[in-house]
Structure 1
Amino acid sequence: MLALGDLVHSLGIDPLVDGLYVLTKKEHELKPQTPTIIVLPQSNINLILRSIKQHYPPGCEVLGVDDAGSMSKWMLSELDEAPLGKFRYIFLQAVSWENDLRNFDALRRIVKHLRAPDGCPWDREQTHESLGQYLLEETYEALEELDKGNIDEFSNELGDVLLQIVLHSEIASEVDRFNISDVILAINEKLVRRHPHVFGDMQVDTKEEVLANWEIQKTQERGGASLMEGVPPSLPALAYGQRVQERASGIGFDWEHIEDVETKIREEIEEFIKASSMKERELEFGDVLFTLVNLGRHLNFDVERSLRQANTKFVQRFQMMEKIAEEANLSFANLSLDEKEQIWIKVKDLEEG
């Protein structure tokens, strides 16, 4: 049987110079930037194959080594046909980031180069403040594709969001404030800390218990500050309303039954109708909206998404109305309200039929 040390010697690898990663269990994650030896298991080889395909580019070479030290080489694209069952080891050369643009390190290096003196003039000039709008815009573009059900485009838009995170991290690292590793460390620590039922000894049985413990953890982290601190005021108003209601609900300040919320909506509408001035009506109108958010929250709706869907539906119907008028050689803007209403009904009938 070929010993691991003999294999390393025959491959001409110096672990102190080249680095070396040895994977002996199928649950270990591959590291394409480091020369890797995989000790093949006696079963579940397909899991190893799937992992290699996920982490390595199609053009990389795969070396199989049997117990006698005999070697066979394939391209990754040929691996499905390779008789891996008769081999003890698989060896994979390190893949440079330039040859594997799927790798996160490639994104980090590209952004670093863009910010370098010989990089891009526009990227070099950017600051946290100048990029702030793009972080919000890219997030909304991702949500738009999600709402449309365009998963491929959603994936692309998530990449644009990720770019903003890496850009901000690179800008901060240039003045020794933080870097992308600090960002990842912070969220990893937070996830472990806020999931003691997964990474600790706490026992929970329901989603509600998980959410209640999540709020307790956040309260402890705030060190006595208000429960409402940490909800960004810059959030869209509907989303902000839903988040502050969720926080209040997390400590038991909430309607017990959805019927109570429905009753409250009727009360708020009545108060809006009875308001004696426009200023008072505006305030009462806000109360109506806030209570409608409460109803959506009790129904487990994302109220921002609900309104986005309604907006999209209206815009699509309106554009169809314009098209119908144009095809009839009519000026849509000059049609009477009754004529526009008839086209609106026609559009709804087309949707339903």
Structure 2
Amino acid sequence: MKKHIPMKEVQKFPDNRRKEKIEAFDRLLTIMDQLRNLCPWDKKQTIESIRHLTIEETFELSDAILDNDLEEIRKELGDIMLHMVFYARMADEKNAFDMADVLNGISEKLINRHPHIYSDIEAKDEEAVKENWEKIKLKEKGNKSVLGGVPKSLPALIKAIRIQEKARGVGFDWDNKNQVWDKVEEEMNEFQHEEESGNKEKATEEFGDLLFSLINYARFSDINPEEALEKTNKKFIKRFQFLEEESKKDGKQISEMSLAEMDTYWEKAKKLP
């Protein structure tokens, strides 16, 4: 049996529902065993077949978080928990690992990556914790590059955030956000120059540099650019749908309206809460 990382004695916090939580998790494991043995659909599934469903559930959780809908978050967490239990059950059938291995694995990872809690390492602030985290990850995974742990398939915007965070974790970063804003302006000028010259390939490259520098500035301003952009997307959708609905009430076809007519409804939409 694999030995677990020893834990030093740390403060334990009271939890009146701990037993109830353990029983609830055991109930889900039992239900999964039953479904895997008795339900035709569940019996047919493979690790590969439910992958796309897991991605969908993750996005649904993301929507609930952006809406700050705690009841919906509860439901979506349940759906994702079901998928985690499902994967572990299928892996157990292959004698690869089971849920105990999964839970012990993440527990040991957390203990190892928080030496300021479980050993004698000191971390005075959040930045020190992040730096320790990235250094430990690099050692654990044996990556030749600090950036080796960034998934290749991440969406470009999220990937840029992770790249910058990892580089900062080993001290490669600007000193202050004024320097970063100077870089934003520099990249803006370079993009405009290439765009005006008609060089599409160079303009595309410079536009990427501009986006990367704006994401960097957002990080220095403690703004999550992914969340900021998604809020703008939702705001635009709400206003555009108002434009569609109100113009239709007035007997107008949006495809036949002038931009000036559309703008009248748009200005009204901007006043919505």
Fold shared per TM-score above 0.5:
yes
User: Per the alignment, in what secondary structure is the counterpart of residue 215 of structure 2?
Assistant: helix
Q: 2:47 aligns with which of 118, 128, 141?
A: 128
* Matched residue, 1:303: 225
Are 1:215 and 2:137 counterparts?
no
Instruction: Give the match for residue 51 of structure 1.
Output: 16
Map 1:108-127; keep pairs closer than 5 Å: 108-116=29-37, 119-127=38-46
What are the ranges of 5 or more consecutive residues in structure 1 without an aligned counterpart? 1-26, 30-46, 57-99
Q: 2:90 aligns with which of 157, 171, 176?
A: 171
**Correspondence 1:180 to 2:99:** yes
**Judging changes above 3 Å, is the alpha-carbon distance between structure 1 residues 132 and 206 closer, same or farther for their aligned structure 2 residues?**
same
Moved over 3 A (4+): none
Q: 1:210: how far off?
A: 1.1
Is structure 2 residue 148 aligned with structure 1 residue 229? Answer: yes
CA distance in 2, matches of 1:210, 1:233: 25
Structure 2 residue 59 is matched with structure 1 residue 140: yes
Please state how far the C-alpha of 1:179 moved relative to its aligned partner.
Answer: 0.9
Q: Give the residue type in structure 1 aligned to 2:251.
A: N
Which moved further from structure 2: 216-225 or 136-145? 216-225
Give the secondary structure class of the aligned counterpart of 2:145: coil
Match of 1:294 among 206, 216, 222: 216
In 1, the alpha carbon distance for the partners of 2:192 and 2:12 equals 64
Equivalent of residue 259 in structure 1, options 168, 174, 178: 178
CA distance in 2, matches of 1:205, 1:347: 47
Match of 2:247 in 1: 325
Q: Match for 1:51: what amino acid?
A: N
Work out the number of aligned pairs and report it. 260
Greater percentage in strand: 1
Percent identity between the aligned chains? 37
Cα offsets for 1:186-239 (capped at 9, x unmatched): 100000001111111112211111111111211211235211112112222111
DSSP 3-state at the match of 1:317: helix
Whether 1:192 and 2:157 are equivalent positions in the alignment is no
Does the CA contact (< 8 Å) of 1:101 and 1:107 recur in 2?
Answer: no
SS at match of 2:251: coil
8 Å CA contact retained: 1:324, 1:343: yes
Offset at 1:102?
Answer: 6.6
Report the CA distance shift for 1:332/1:338 in structure 2 as closer, same or farther (over 3 A): same
Amino acid at match of 2:34: H
Within 5 Å, give how 1:151-162 maps onto structure 2.
151-162=70-81
- Give unmatched runs, 5+ long, in structure 2: 1-10
1:338 aligns with 2:260: yes
Alignment partners' CA distance in 1, 2:262 and 2:222: 36
Q: Secondary structure of 1:103's match?
A: helix
What TM-score comes out, normalization by structure 1 length? 0.70
Matches of 2:254 and 2:186, distance apart in 1: 40
Q: 2-side partners of 1:339 and 1:191: how far apart? A: 57
Bigger Cα Rg = 1
Which of these residues, 13, 25, 33, is aligned with residue 104 of structure 1?
25
- What code does the residue aligned with 1:155 have? R
* Secondary structure in structure 2 of the residue aligned to 1:51: coil
Greater percentage in helix: 2
Cα root mean square deviation, aligned = 2.1
Distance 1:224 1:240, change over 3 A: closer
